[in-house]
Structure 1
C-alpha cells in the first residue's frame, strides 16, 4: 500500500473495546521484537546516532511502557503480570493523575495536564517546557516509540492501517495521537530534530539492532496491544511476544537499565486511580526482585526519579509537588532524596475528570491563563528549573 493511500485511511476510532467483544486472539505484529514489519506501517529512516552515555546514580537508561485503562487488581491478578512482578519491584501505591487518557500522557512529560479533560486534539504552545528540555539540558538522549505511527513526527489524530489481527476486515485505527506524549507539544512538533525522535516500531527495531537506543524511552503499543480495544489477556500476550525476549537482550536491557511498566489510568472511575506499576530491568538488584514498594507514587514520579538519578533540573510543576512527586525508593535511597510518607486518607483523589483548572479545561469557569513555572521549586535532581524550552 503506498503512503498516500495509507494517509487516506485516517479516521475516527471505533467504540472502546471493539475487539474485546469479538474475543479475537493475539496476533504477533512482527516475527520478533527486533524485526521490522509492514504491520508497523511506517518505514524506518535509519537508526538514531549512537550517543555518549551519561552515567546515572542507579541507571543509565530509563524505559517507560504504558498500557491502557486497567484497575490495579485486574493487572495484579493476571498471570503474566504476576510473573513479571516476581522479576521486579511492584509499586502497589502507584496512581494515575486523572481521566481520560490524554491528560495523563501529557502530564508525564510536562508535570501538568493543564486542565485537559478530553481526548480531543490539543496543541500545547511552544513556550511550555517539557521533560524533553530537561533531558536535553542534561545531555540525556531520548526518543518516543509509537507502534503503528505511519511516519516519524506524524501529527494526525489517528491513523488506520491494514487490520492484521482480523485479515479481510476494514482498516483499523491502531495508532492514536492522544497516547503520544511528545507530539502534544509544539516545542517538539515544530522542531524537526526533535520530531525525528518521535518514531515507530520499525525505527525501534533498527535503533535497537544498531545499539542506538537512547537513554530515555517512552514506548506506546498500539490500540489492541495496550489493552485499550481488547483485554488484559491480549496485552499480556503482547508482553510475552515483545517485552519478554527484550528483557534477555543487552541491547535493550543491561545491568544499568530501569524499566517502568504501567498503565495510563484505571478502568473503575468511581474508585481512586490506583494502577499497576512495576520496575523491571538489570538495575533492579537481585535482592529486591519479587518485593513490593508501598510508597505513594504518581506519573509525576517518573519525572522526579529521572531527574534525581541524573542530577537534572526540573519543570517546577507537578514534578516538584511535595505530595505527588515521590522518587522511586530504589533511586531515592541511592541519591538521598527524602520521600513524603503519604498513605491512607492522605492520598489525593485523582479519579475525577474535568475538575482541575487550567488553560485547556473545556469549562469557561475552570479555564485559566497558562501558568508560569515555579522558578523557586526544589528539583529532585538538584538542577535548575527549566522554565523555557531550549
Structure 2
C-alpha cells in the first residue's frame, strides 16, 4: 500500500515536470497570467485631440494618407468609429458637450449655456484650450476669417468657456509640457481636408503634431486623431486613432462614436458624463 502511494506521487511529480518542460519550450510559464485590459482610463497629463473633415474611414489609407497610417501603426485604431450626424457643426458640438444641442446645420453663430468638457475641466481644477488655425486673434467670436470657420470651433459657442480658452493655433506651445490638460485643435479649411486634398491634411498632421505624438509616449500624454464626419454617406464611419503613453498598439473593432471619445476623456479626469456620453462606456480595452 505504502509502495503504491509512493509510486503515485512519483508519477505525479514526473507529469508536472514534463508539463513544465512543454510550457517552457513554448515560451509560456505557468506563472504568466493572460494580459488584462485596464479597468479605467489613465489620468493623462495632457490630451490633444485634432479633428479633420469630411472623409470616410475607407479614404484614409496608406496610399492616400501615409502618415495617418504610420500613426495608426503606433497606436490604437478603431475600425468601427462613427460620427453622430451630418453636417459638420453638430458633430463638433456633440463631441464637446455630449449633445448636438439641437443643431442640424452649419449656421453661425450658435450660443449655449449648457455643460461642456471645457467648463467641466476648469471646474475640476484642470485646464482647457481650443487651438484654431487661421483664426485672426485670440478670443475671436466672428463666424469666418480667411480660411477659419467658427463652425469648426465648438468651444467658442459656450459662454461657460472663458475667452482665454479660445486661441490661435500659432500659440500652440513648442514645449509640450506647457500644454493645458486637454487641447482641441482645428486645422484651417484647407489643412483639415475640407477644401484641400487628403495629402494636404496628411502633410499638415505630420509637420505639426508628430513631435507631440512621439513626446506623448514617454510623458504620460495622449494624441487623439479623428474626423467630424465621413464624406456624407449614410454609414458615417470615420478614422479614429489614439497614440501615446499606456496605449496597446492594435486594431480594435469595438463600436465607438464621438460620445464615446468624450466619455473616455471625462473618465480620465473623473468627470461626470455629459448628455449622450452618459449612455456609452469609456474606452478601457486599449490601455496597458
Asked whether the two chains share a fold, i.e. TM above 0.5, the reply is yes
How far apart are the structure 1 equivalents of 2:140 and 2:184? Answer: 16
Match of 1:131 among 105, 113, 117: 117
Taking the aligned partners of 1:226 and 1:198, their CA distance within structure 2 comes to 18
Counterpart Cα distance in 1 of 2:277 and 2:180? 22
- Gaps (5+ residues) in structure 1? 1-55, 161-173, 189-193, 335-390
1:226 Cα deviation (Å)?
Answer: 0.7
Corresponding residue number in structure 1 for 2:277: 319
Do the aligned partners of 1:258 and 1:282 also contact (CA within 8 Å) in 2? yes
Q: 2:182 aligned with 1:219, yes or no? A: no
**What SS does structure 1 have at the residue aligned with 2:48?**
strand
Aligned pairs, number: 246
Unaligned segments of structure 2, at least 5 residues: 1-40
Q: 3-state SS of the aligned residue for 2:80?
A: strand
Q: Is 1:297–1:326's contact at 8 Å kept on the other side of the alignment?
A: no
Query: Residue 132 of structure 1 aligns to a residue in which SS?
Result: helix
User: Which of 148, 156, 168 is the aligned partner of 1:200?
Assistant: 168
Deviation of 1:235 (Å): 0.7
Question: Which structure: larger Rg?
Answer: 2
Q: Deviations over 1:120-160 (max 9, x none)?
A: 1143333x121122212222211111111111110111002
> Which of 94, 117, 123 matches 2:104?
117
Aligned to 1:179, which of 142, 152, 156? Answer: 152
| Bigger proportion of residues as helix | 2
Aligned match for 1:279, one of 217, 242, 258? 242
Higher relative contact order at CA 8 Å, sep ≥6: structure 1 or structure 2?
A: 2
Shift in Å, 1:253: 5.8
* Contact 2:80–2:237, Cα closer than 8 Å, also in 1: yes
What is the TM-score with the length of structure 2 in the denominator? 0.80
1:88 aligns with 2:61: no
Task: Call closer, same or farther: CA 1:283–1:145 in 2, change over 3 Å.
Answer: farther
Match of 2:203 among 237, 249, 252: 237
Distance 1:246 1:304 in 2: 23
Alpha-carbon distance in 1 for matches of 2:261, 2:93: 13
